[in-house]
Amino acid sequence: MTEPKFNDAEIEAGRLLFARPFVFVKGCVSIADLPEPDRIEIAFAGRSNVGKSSLINGLTGTTGLARTSNTPGRTQELNIFESQHAPLRIVDMPGYGFAKAPEAKVKQWTRLIHSYLTGRQNLRRVYVLIDGRHGPNANDQSVMNELDKAAVSYQVVVTKADKPNSAELKDAIAKTRAEIAKRPAAHPHLIITSSETKFGLEELRTEILALLHQ
């Protein structure tokens, strides 16, 4: 299911990048709260409860770096994490779509996400997470439309690949590939992952490492 293949040295370098400590820096409720744009940033975007926080914890080999919850809308800020050994910053974004929060709060998150995605000069890539049980929905398409319009590079990561049966996962992947094939700012390769089984995480780590070398 994985597409690009990396050599052993690249995979090991990706592992080392995330084996060294990442720390939580702050939660930002406005663009003015963001740190100085002094290093490469990658952001994780996805609908509520798609597994962003679990994926970040899986990448960094921790259980509590990013807070996880079964309640949609738990992440309510731009949560900032930084590597202690590399010029890399991770941004965990509020989930879009359904959230158990007041409508005014959801609108505030939406404005914050829009401002960040379209105006952050050091944002190198957005990883758009798609639930492997369902494939892309209207909210996912809306975010990809915005990224295409703003010419922000993004790559789709299919999450929770261990949850559906093989036929359901195959269908979700096919729908996702068809969706990104027509999109100008989308990276052509999908990354298929499971935070539970760790499937696909080494590939994602190596893809992120490559961004530091561009």
Where do runs of H (alpha helix) occur along 81-200? 103-119, 138-150, 166-181
Q: Is 153 helix (H, G, I), strand (E, B) or coil?
A: coil
Q: What pLDDT is stored for residue 100 in this prediction?
A: 60
Residue-wise pLDDT tens digits, 113-126: 888 988 899 999 99
Report the DSSP beta bridge partners of residue 82.
Answer: 23, 89
Regions of the chain where pLDDT drops below 50? 1-2, 69-74
What is the structure's pLDDT at 106? 67
What lies within 8 Å, CB to CB, of 136 at 6+ separation is 130, 144, 175, 176, 179
The whole-number pLDDT of residue 67 equals: 67
**What pLDDT does residue 113 have?**
83
State the pLDDT at residue 103: 72
Q: Which fold has domain 8-212?
A: Rossmann fold (3.40.50)
Output the pTM of the full model.
Answer: 0.90
